[in-house]
A and B are shown apart, each in its own frame.
Chain A
Amino acid sequence: MKKINVIALLLFLAAVVAIFFFVDSPTTRGFQTKVMNILSPFIRAGAVTETEVKHAVESPLDPGELRRENERLQQKVAQLSIIAEKYNSVLDENNKFRTLLNYRQQTPLKLTAARVLRRSASNWWTTLIIDKGSLDGVGTDCPVITESGLVGKTGKVALNTAEVMLLTDEECRVSARVQGTQIKGILSGERGDLEVRSDLRLRFIDRMAKIEPGAKIYSTGDGGVFPAELFLGKVKSIQMRDVAAEAVVEPPMDFSLIEDVFIVQLETGGP
């Protein structure tokens, strides 16, 4: 082997060792954020192109049907606005009573609406890219929800985009409990989302616990990442493992069809 090749190999190995052992997590996160910021315009442009191509390929819809659909949706919006108004006034009243009774005020949730740009191009991690980023106040590890339940949590955040690690990913773990019981465990997905429609797994539950199929699973709020009472899915079956039992849980939604989400920003509530 030539001397220059040996030197190159040694330098390469030294650089790899330096990355493995001397680059700490914040520095790595900094690099990842910078790369996301650089690639963010490409991600957005890629998503727009993909959508345009999809629309061009899809058969055109009947304009009359679209108009009727639009009218139906406008009526629905008006109806929901009234309900939201009533809900807000009830919430205000509720908070006022809590303060009067000197209860610890419930932590309010600040929701930021975001649109799903596309599914991320990662190999083994099930992630989505959304159109809100740090400029919109989105941070890392913010829970992401829809009206059907928990979607996941934010991961890498760029200025105008953010990556959402889905609930179906093995690395997205949620402290969960079975509705109406004290049975708790950790809910997570399967590796790589390589099934047709991945189920979730509620792990580390007591072997003696009695859980009926169809029981609803909610977040406990214990982990500090996800707020309590978020719907996570329904139990399909129970499997006994060596040390603990494991429940197979049907996810709250089909994650491939999600278009709009809400990012939850936890605010510290007053006394």
Chain B
Amino acid sequence: MSIFYYIAVWVLLAFSFGAQEFLPAIEFAHQARVLLPPVLFFCSSLSVSFPVMLIFAFFTGFVWDARHLPYRPDKVKFSDTSEMAMNGHAEKREHSRGNLPPGYSIVLFGALGTVMQGIRPLFKRGRWELPVVMVGVATFVWLLIEYLLMSFLRSRFYFPEGLWTKITTDALLAMLAAPLLLYCLHSIARVLRFEARSEGLTLRFHGS
């Protein structure tokens, strides 16, 4: 019955992109909010096999980038004095290399999903403490890497105080949402008689 569980989780993931648009942001935490599709992906990584996790990572990353990455902006010409003063910089800016490439989220989700696979045995045993913490950590790491990548591409590292407020609040909200999502996944697994096998990448777990 594994295939039905995988399809159910995939439908949930797709639906979470729509549900995300209904979730409000916290103004004072620089628009931090529950980032539902990534959090659901991190939770579902605990229950599915490695190849299926990669498929989910691809789907989540692809749709996330399509929804959230801006179009590559058109060039803005420099003129007169500014061009004379900054000719080298002007060329760089005209090609707009500061944007993250579409597809980068797929790589990040794939890498973080692989880390989450390491605690699959805990999902099987119905334990939620460490998975919830790990979902928060994964969200924090994902957002931080995203910001660092953007800073690297724009050739300027800049860490305002609001950055840490936003990332930490996002991670805490992810940890709040994670138990509910894990419970949903457990319920779906029970209804569809899906047994989360815990072979992981290298470890095998034989406990109950």
Interface size on A, residues (CB 8 A): 75
Decide yes or no: A182 and B86 within 8 Å by CB, A5-B50, A122-B68 being known contacts.
no
Q: Mark B53-86, 1 if CB is under 8 A from A, else 0.
A: 0100110001100111111111111111110011
| Residue in B21, B58, B106, B161 whose Cβ sees the most chain A Cβ within 10 Å | B21
The reply to whether the CB of A248 lies closer than 8 angstroms to some CB of chain B is no
A175 neighbours in B (Cβ, 8 Å)? 76-79
Q: How far is the CB of B82 from chain A (nearest CB, A)?
A: 5
Q: Does the CB pair A156–B21 fall under 8 Å? A: no
Q: Mark B106-125, 1 if CB is under 8 A from A, else 0.
A: 11001000000000000000
Q: Does the CB pair A195–B160 fall under 8 Å? A: yes
A sample of 10 inter-chain contacts (CB < 8 A) reads A16-B106, A20-B101, A39-B21, A121-B25, A156-B71, A172-B73, A173-B73, A191-B151, A195-B160, A256-B27
A2: nearest chain-B partner, CB-CB: B199
A173: nearest chain-B partner, CB-CB: B76
| Residue in B17, B85, B147 whose Cβ sees the most chain A Cβ within 10 Å | B85
Q: How far is the CB of A23 from chain B (nearest CB, A)?
A: 7
B35 neighbours in A (Cβ, 8 Å)? 123
Q: Mark B29-69, 1 if CB is under 8 A from A, else 0.
A: 01101010000000000000011001001100011001111
A5 to B114, CA, bound (A): 11
A11: nearest chain-B partner, CB-CB: B54
A19 to B105, CA, bound (A): 12
Decide yes or no: A194 and B103 within 8 Å by CB, A36-B67, A204-B78 being known contacts.
no
Interface size on B, residues (CB 8 A): 69
The reply to whether the CB of A250 lies closer than 8 angstroms to some CB of chain B is no
A2 to B66, CA, bound (A): 32
A43 to B67, CA, bound (A): 11
Decide yes or no: A194 and B163 within 8 Å by CB, A223-B75, A223-B77 being known contacts.
yes
Q: Mark B130-159, 1 if CB is under 8 A from A, else 0.
A: 000000000000010011001100101010
The reply to whether the CB of A12 lies closer than 8 angstroms to some CB of chain B is yes
B96 neighbours in A (Cβ, 8 Å)? 171
Q: Mark A141-176, 1 if CB is under 8 A from B, else 0.
A: 100000000000101100000010100001111110
Q: Of B79, B101, B110, B154, which is within 8 A of A170 by CB?
A: B154
Q: Does the CB pair A16–B103 fall under 8 Å? A: yes
Decide yes or no: A42 and B21 within 8 Å by CB, A32-B66, A156-B70 being known contacts.
yes
Q: How far is the CB of B159 from chain A (nearest CB, A)?
A: 9
Q: Of B21, B70, B75, which is within 8 A of A45 by CB?
A: B21
Q: Of A9, A50, A207, which is within 8 A of B54 by CB?
A: A9
Q: Does the CB pair A184–B82 fall under 8 Å? A: yes
Q: Does the CB pair A15–B58 fall under 8 Å? A: yes
Q: How far is the CB of A16 from chain B (nearest CB, A)?
A: 6
B51 neighbours in A (Cβ, 8 Å)? 4-5, 7-8
